[in-house]
Chain A
């Protein structure tokens, strides 16, 4: 009798195999306390040594919006600026910041935690998911600031604002899916981290973060067709349409369907793609 037959007879399992996706996802769900604590403690650790501590979660995006506002507000000139430009910009920058921080640091969520992956066995998906959770926790105060600013500029609260909840949920689903994809890609091709800042920049300039795609390219059918299906642009436009009123902030209902389709498609692809290489993470070949 060979050792392999002996092991099989005694009910031993082969080490290093990948669990089927169903039980894998159950495993991930069991680890939710770990995922949540990891993300919360990381925020704490990041800010613990700064004098202003947790205030930076809120200060950083505000400063960013102020910088972009000064630059682009002057560059664009009055006639190209949409109504309520400051709010337009703040919402755009905050939403983009959520996307780009997931995209950029999510890509490194496995490679920068090699030690952790090599020493403990847990479903590796916990790491990118913890990263997205961390960014979500940092995003919520930014939304609160955006709402405060909208109120400060004289817009009355409306029931429609509740639509922010499903919108942020969809955006999180989208970001999680994307993070899972980039997290695995970076494991195979480390060089990707060199490219990612440029991809992020590209989306920053093309998604209408600081200018209105509709105003600038409204007449060009090709560009508008692309903008219609570009997910980040969709999410930003939806957020503005929920919070702001006026002719610049009307979006078609189909944007909701499009963005939901994007979110779930990316999540499903990302989950399967990430799981498929589960036993590969942490190996140093």
Chain B
């Protein structure tokens, strides 16, 4: 409930309220769970069965403006489901999520076309993010320089190395001011130099009164960028608090 975080708001306004969120997936199973006595039958008879996966089981927390929240947990713990629910892509089966403005995932890759030049893709990606043509014009040089692809800007994106592509995507995606931004493992790409710059960019977004969620397996980047950490395990909120405390408890449980 709200009490866990109400004490730490310093009079700041809440940006995201996650209220007792449950998410259940119904999946078509294309087989059955293996069990010895059924094996013989299974080979001859195939039935489509639905299974319900309970991905989130009643998660609640409140995030305030300017918070930078690290989200940690082992694979399959429900981190990504929670993030997708926060941006409204996965429906909640119970509970609700409230936000000051629509949260967005950091990602523009899907809008880009590999056969077009970097220049065209900056325009297309910017428009997809909701920038106007004038705004893109004004930010064009900044995006290109941040991605460090000035020499290749007129070449088709399919000729770029994977690092260059990742840098360009990150540069376009962060060109827009996001009030509430979700970064899912995006910092794991690129070389060391770019990683440092992208972490600085994330901190800059946070300082502009934005709210950032960072999903990562790198405890170092979470320590460097977050002022609060949420630990999700098997669809439940295990711990919510200062980065050092939560990371320590998490790493202990992993031993």
Measuring CB to CB, which residues of chain A are less than 8 angstroms from any residue of chain B? 1-4, 6-8, 10-16, 31, 33-34, 37-38, 41-42, 44-46, 48-49, 113, 115-116, 118-122, 279, 282-283, 285
Assembly CA distance A59 to B180 (angstroms) = 48
Residues of B within 8 A of A33 (CB): 127, 132-133
Nearest residue in A to B6 (C-beta to C-beta)? A6
- Contact A120–B113 (Cβ < 8 Å): no
Q: Kindly provide the distance from the CB of A83 to the nearest chain B CB, expressed in whole angstroms.
A: 44
Residues of B within 8 A of A118 (CB): 84, 89, 105, 110
- Contact B25–A113 (Cβ < 8 Å): no
- Chain B, 125-137, contact with A by CB distance < 8 Å: what is the 0/1 string? 0011110110000
Residues of A within 8 A of B104 (CB): 120-121
With known contacts A3-B20, A4-B98, A48–B107 Cβ distance under 8 A:
no
- Chain B, 214-251, contact with A by CB distance < 8 Å: what is the 0/1 string? 00000000000000000000000000000000000000
With known contacts A13-B99, A48-B116, A119-B105, A3–B17 Cβ distance under 8 A:
yes
Residues of A within 8 A of B164 (CB): none
Residues of B within 8 A of A15 (CB): 85-88, 96-99, 102-103
Q: Does B168 contact A (CB under 8 A)?
A: no
- Contact B107–A119 (Cβ < 8 Å): yes
- Contact A116–B127 (Cβ < 8 Å): no
Q: Does B120 contact A (CB under 8 A)?
A: yes
With known contacts A12-B100, A45-B113, A6–B17 Cβ distance under 8 A:
yes
Q: Does B188 contact A (CB under 8 A)?
A: no
With known contacts A48-B156, A120-B108, A7–B89 Cβ distance under 8 A:
no
Given contacts A13-B100, A279-B91, 17 further A-B contacts (CB under 8 A): A3-B17, A4-B96, A12-B17, A12-B98, A12-B100, A13-B99, A14-B97, A15-B85, A15-B98, A31-B130, A33-B132, A115-B110, A118-B105, A119-B110, A120-B108, A120-B128, A285-B26
Assembly CA distance A4 to B1 (angstroms) = 11
With known contacts A6-B2, A15-B103, A121-B87, A37–B127 Cβ distance under 8 A:
yes
With known contacts A120-B107, A279-B88, A3–B62 Cβ distance under 8 A:
yes
Residues of B within 8 A of A8 (CB): 98
Q: Does B69 contact A (CB under 8 A)?
A: no
Nearest residue in B to A1 (C-beta to C-beta)? B2
Q: Kindly provide the distance from the CB of B61 to the nearest chain A CB, expressed in whole angstroms.
A: 9
Measuring CB to CB, which residues of chain B are less than 8 angstroms from any residue of chain A? 1-2, 13-14, 16-17, 19-20, 25-26, 60, 62, 84-92, 96-100, 102-105, 107-111, 113-116, 120, 123-124, 127-130, 132-133, 156
Partner of A13, one of B14, B98, B109, B116: B98
- Contact B115–A4 (Cβ < 8 Å): no
Assembly CA distance A12 to B107 (angstroms) = 24
Residues of B within 8 A of A282 (CB): 89
- Contact A116–B2 (Cβ < 8 Å): no
Assembly CA distance A285 to B28 (angstroms) = 10
Interface hub of A31, A33, A42 (most chain B Cβ within 10 A): A33
Partner of B113, one of A2, A14, A41, A279: A41
- Contact B124–A38 (Cβ < 8 Å): yes
- Show 21 A/B contacts (Cβ-Cβ < 8 Å), sorted by A: A3-B2, A4-B19, A10-B13, A11-B100, A13-B98, A15-B97, A15-B98, A15-B102, A15-B103, A16-B88, A16-B97, A34-B128, A37-B123, A41-B124, A45-B116, A46-B115, A118-B89, A120-B111, A121-B102, A283-B89, A285-B91
Interface hub of A3, A6, A10, A41 (most chain B Cβ within 10 A): A3
Residues of A within 8 A of B25 (CB): 285
Residues of B within 8 A of A16 (CB): 88, 91-92, 97
With known contacts A33-B133, A37-B127, A113–B98 Cβ distance under 8 A:
no
Nearest residue in B to A119 (C-beta to C-beta)? B107
